[in-house]
Chains A and B, each alone.
Chain A
């Protein structure tokens, strides 16, 4: 295995290609975790706490144990002794909830697992689970909503996180001296990932080897965590996740259901399948935490920003700390004379640990900052777009480093012109169409461009096909497809002949599918592994008696699945056959290098939104969204555009509908898809997405910065700004529900 930092070369990528796994998905051929059925399999069904805080005093299990088909019930008193995972991101063994299942009898949240019933069928397990009776000592001193803690003045509630605070220049003095200021508070309700495919674990032990089929955005992380928890070497754990019906961050780091399923399988000596119910998913597999924010802006009369303060606060949990750092990206967004101060605080609530949810932190922080800018524009009597343009940062204001590539100004201009921003009437309520008032709003979009280390294996097969393997996963975003496209481009082997293997922790170690870094991380490793395999081929070809005997290996190129040097060439398949080989493969890894210290990597975009407000029936709808994003190179513009479009729809959910609610007794009021409102097809506006095509070769040899999250940022702010333009109402608390629109 070699390590390769990648080199700059122009590839002929950027091709619109439908997903290569589309047919499998449409025909039911894609094996999702819950589709897995193993011989002699049993079924687990969790029993969860119905109180929000307190102690589990006892479980009455006799009735449940007597139910048909029940094999065993696992709980605190009979569970295996395990160790917690060290929970390190760097060591790649982070879990979402560090507590082990049934670790003690403390209840930290409603929905916490208190037992796992295992039976011969799913229905038997579920019926028996209903018969388990739990006796609790209830503690009514709990918290499920941090909004009630905000006094509305001064500091936000919670414990300040020293690691999140940053301060440049003198934001306080600059604010005091500013001619025009804004000081406002914002909040965003808790959102749930609401994935299509339920969380599932199917666990099997063979001898002392654990195989677990999971819907996971990080098979390597889960493998490593299980290895620590069970105290067995990582080679003895395999996590498989061939297809994922979306994760949105909720499936990045393992949840306790996987651990209890694995224990049950070991104890029973039979495979166990646990599929969470929708209600359980909503309570026990994370969420985007409720956030409170305060933004203070200072500007001179021309609209030049002089100072930015951004304070954030988000929910965390006694069952696991999560910091969403909602203000984290703010120092990088605008040139504000070098005066910027951000903080973030956490408050523990009695809910399961929050976790990343698509564009974590930044989408929340963006809402507050981009709404505050709109408020500033109103005070300045200035066009909101002109205000942003005036404060464009031509280098990263936080680090002072140059941008690797930044075309935000073109995003602003292109999107504005396609949208028709120049036709906007700034007076609230001035644009009308029949019963409806029209409002225009805009915001800047942004997401950090990251890259991780990654290994991959590429193998040329004698039948002419190419195998590409990497222990990352395709969470529905198109990773299979872009890996195949890239491998095809690198080798000249047609895409139909490329066999991409992902979603298996026994493959060369690949990254999480998160942070929009899968593309920029995986493709360079695929390229390095291809070069490694190629050098094996060259060794064969230049060996004694080979086609290229006495030819300088460096002169040999790979073209259309052939090795070529001068006027000589040989088909790779022929070379393999001549040497009686079925496969020649190479494994290599790639990682970011010094460029990380020399440049700031970030994607930007601009989004414009039209809303329609029918005041006579209190109906607010988004009718049009135009976005231009600069994500470097889009390897596959079709799947990339789809990511931005999906992000826009999810941003509409954040802006208009989504909120997980808990009542005064801690009861989860809407933990199901009927009552938790997400946008549906009928809500879809006309969405127009443009991808600029400026490859960022400083980031990686393919010039791609990733695209999974940026689409979600900016939408909520653009909606709220458009609502202001339509109604003169400034809505600072998401979602913008009917009752908030009706409130005086």
Chain B
């Protein structure tokens, strides 16, 4: 681990003014991603700005019914918050399926949005990786890519976005609130994470010097909700495929539906094609399967991850089935 300078800030404007356009500076919130990567020498900040004391730990309902979540709300507190459990069960389930209790107690909402891929080649500075070192090549495409993406990949990078929480947020609908040297701005959650394309090193729509201050969840959608995470073992593992589903019924047919995918895509993935395929259709197994096919119509398999296409479809079908059952309950 390299030595770095550590500075604590108490107010948002202090944090933002601190972080000038400077590659060598990084925020630290819970530290569960950052410190890991600093120890591995993947991230090499010269200065770390501790934002964990900023007054961004509140969860509040806005007048329009949306829910404003401070960037420093811990994953545990968010998952266990009464309004979240009631209005956004898909998000609560997603959060609780991630990591371990200890990690969720440390991890923050902003940090989770910003967590980096678990691609082993990215995490080892001795290996070529376009995300870590643009132009050096992608070790995963030729190497082992069992944990990598089948959706949203490019010839430069096929790394999976690891977050469960973000998949829940994409399904629920959300907005990221940013505070920067040029003031405040808002970005739709779905647009915040970027596809790797030709620039896999650019992961978010975060400008230099900007800080995530809040994530605002859309007003609760109601309906039946379910987050299903599939992995090798029963806990403490990133998703191999996951699906967040929100199903609203009108009698026996689906009047509205949201489908988001994790573990299979380079960013938290909204499966719009699946939603379109199902909307207005009877909530049947055949239609869930049709939606799953639509979700993976553009999937590309690499040497070790073809199974994810099957697994991902299964996640969609089962999550839709169980969300539908919840809607009927």
A-side interface residues toward B, CB under 8 Å? 50, 68, 123, 126-127, 130, 616-619, 621, 656-657, 661, 663-665, 667, 669-670, 674-675, 677-683, 737-739, 742
Q: Is B232 an interface residue (CB 8 A)?
A: yes
Q: Is B234 an interface residue (CB 8 A)?
A: yes
Cα A631 to Cα B3 with chains together (Å): 54
Asked, given contacts A617-B315, A618-B314, whether A663 binds B143 with beta carbons under 8 Å apart, the answer is: yes
Q: Is B216 an interface residue (CB 8 A)?
A: no
Cα A675 to Cα B228 with chains together (Å): 21
Q: Are B1 and A123 in contact (CB under 8 A)?
A: yes
Q: Are B1 and A126 in contact (CB under 8 A)?
A: yes
Q: Which residue among A68, A617, A674 has the maximum number of chain B CB atoms within 10 Å of its CB? A: A617
| Chain B neighbourhood of A123, CB < 8 A | 1, 3
Q: Are B230 and A617 in contact (CB under 8 A)?
A: yes
| Chain B neighbourhood of A674, CB < 8 A | 118, 237-238
Nearest Cβ distance between residue A112 and chain B, in whole angstroms?
Answer: 14
Asked, given contacts A617-B315, A738-B240, A742-B307, whether A682 binds B139 with beta carbons under 8 Å apart, the answer is: no
B-side interface residues toward A, CB under 8 Å? 1-3, 41, 118, 120-121, 124, 126-127, 139, 142-144, 146-147, 228, 230, 232-238, 240, 304, 306-307, 310-311, 314-315, 317-318
Nearest Cβ distance between residue B129 and chain A, in whole angstroms?
Answer: 12
Q: Kindly list 14 other residue pairs between chains A and B, CB separation below 8 angstroms, not including A127-B2, A677-B232.
A: A50-B126, A68-B3, A617-B318, A618-B230, A665-B142, A674-B237, A675-B120, A680-B233, A680-B235, A683-B233, A683-B234, A738-B230, A738-B232, A738-B240
Q: Are A664 and B142 in contact (CB under 8 A)?
A: yes
From B126, which residue of chain A is reached at the shortest CB distance?
Answer: A50
Cα A126 to Cα B2 with chains together (Å): 8
Nearest Cβ distance between residue B317 and chain A, in whole angstroms?
Answer: 7
Q: Are A127 and B3 in contact (CB under 8 A)?
A: yes
| Chain B neighbourhood of A50, CB < 8 A | 126
Cα A195 to Cα B252 with chains together (Å): 53
Q: Are B232 and A657 in contact (CB under 8 A)?
A: yes
| Chain B neighbourhood of A621, CB < 8 A | 234
Cα A679 to Cα B235 with chains together (Å): 9
Q: Are A682 and B233 in contact (CB under 8 A)?
A: yes
| Chain A neighbourhood of B121, CB < 8 A | 667
From A51, which residue of chain B is reached at the shortest CB distance?
Answer: B126
From B44, which residue of chain A is reached at the shortest CB distance?
Answer: A130
Q: Which residue among A618, A656, A664 has the maximum number of chain B CB atoms within 10 Å of its CB? A: A618
Q: Which of B144, B235, B236, B314 contacts A669 (CB 8 A)?
A: B144
The 7 closest A-B pairs by CB, nearest first: A682-B235, A682-B234, A663-B143, A739-B307, A669-B144, A663-B144, A683-B234
Q: Are A617 and B41 in contact (CB under 8 A)?
A: no
Asked, given contacts A667-B127, A742-B307, A742-B311, whether A619 binds B230 with beta carbons under 8 Å apart, the answer is: yes
Q: Are B142 and A679 in contact (CB under 8 A)?
A: no
Cα A661 to Cα B120 with chains together (Å): 12
Nearest Cβ distance between residue B107 and chain A, in whole angstroms?
Answer: 15
Q: Are B118 and A617 in contact (CB under 8 A)?
A: no
Cα A195 to Cα B150 with chains together (Å): 34
Cα A667 to Cα B127 with chains together (Å): 9
Q: Are B233 and A657 in contact (CB under 8 A)?
A: yes
Cα A28 to Cα B160 with chains together (Å): 39
Cα A742 to Cα B236 with chains together (Å): 22
| Chain A neighbourhood of B314, CB < 8 A | 616-618
Q: Are A618 and B310 in contact (CB under 8 A)?
A: yes
Cα A123 to Cα B41 with chains together (Å): 12
| Chain A neighbourhood of B127, CB < 8 A | 667
Q: Which of A616, A664, A665, A739 contacts B317 (CB 8 A)?
A: A616
Nearest Cβ distance between residue B45 and chain A, in whole angstroms?
Answer: 14
| Chain A neighbourhood of B2, CB < 8 A | 127, 130
| Chain A neighbourhood of B306, CB < 8 A | 739
Sample 21 A-B pairs with CB under 8 A, ordered by A number.
A50-B126, A123-B3, A127-B2, A616-B314, A617-B228, A617-B315, A618-B311, A657-B232, A663-B143, A667-B121, A675-B147, A677-B232, A678-B233, A679-B233, A680-B233, A683-B233, A683-B234, A738-B232, A738-B240, A739-B307, A742-B307
Cα A675 to Cα B317 with chains together (Å): 27
Q: Are B234 and A680 in contact (CB under 8 A)?
A: yes
Q: Are A738 and B1 in contact (CB under 8 A)?
A: no
Cα A677 to Cα B118 with chains together (Å): 14
Q: Are B143 and A664 in contact (CB under 8 A)?
A: yes
Cα A73 to Cα B44 with chains together (Å): 24
Asked, given contacts A674-B118, A683-B233, A742-B310, whether A667 binds B139 with beta carbons under 8 Å apart, the answer is: yes
From A670, which residue of chain B is reached at the shortest CB distance?
Answer: B120
Q: Are A127 and B230 in contact (CB under 8 A)?
A: no
| Chain B neighbourhood of A680, CB < 8 A | 233-236
Cα A130 to Cα B44 with chains together (Å): 12
Q: Which residue among A670, A677, A737, A738 has the maximum number of chain B CB atoms within 10 Å of its CB? A: A738
Cα A706 to Cα B315 with chains together (Å): 46
Nearest Cβ distance between residue B187 and chain A, in whole angstroms?
Answer: 30
Q: Which residue among B2, B124, B233, B235 has the maximum number of chain A CB atoms within 10 Å of its CB? A: B233
Q: Are B143 and A665 in contact (CB under 8 A)?
A: yes
Q: Are B307 and A683 in contact (CB under 8 A)?
A: no
Q: Are A669 and B120 in contact (CB under 8 A)?
A: yes
Cα A667 to Cα B126 with chains together (Å): 10
Nearest Cβ distance between residue A617 and chain B, in whole angstroms?
Answer: 5
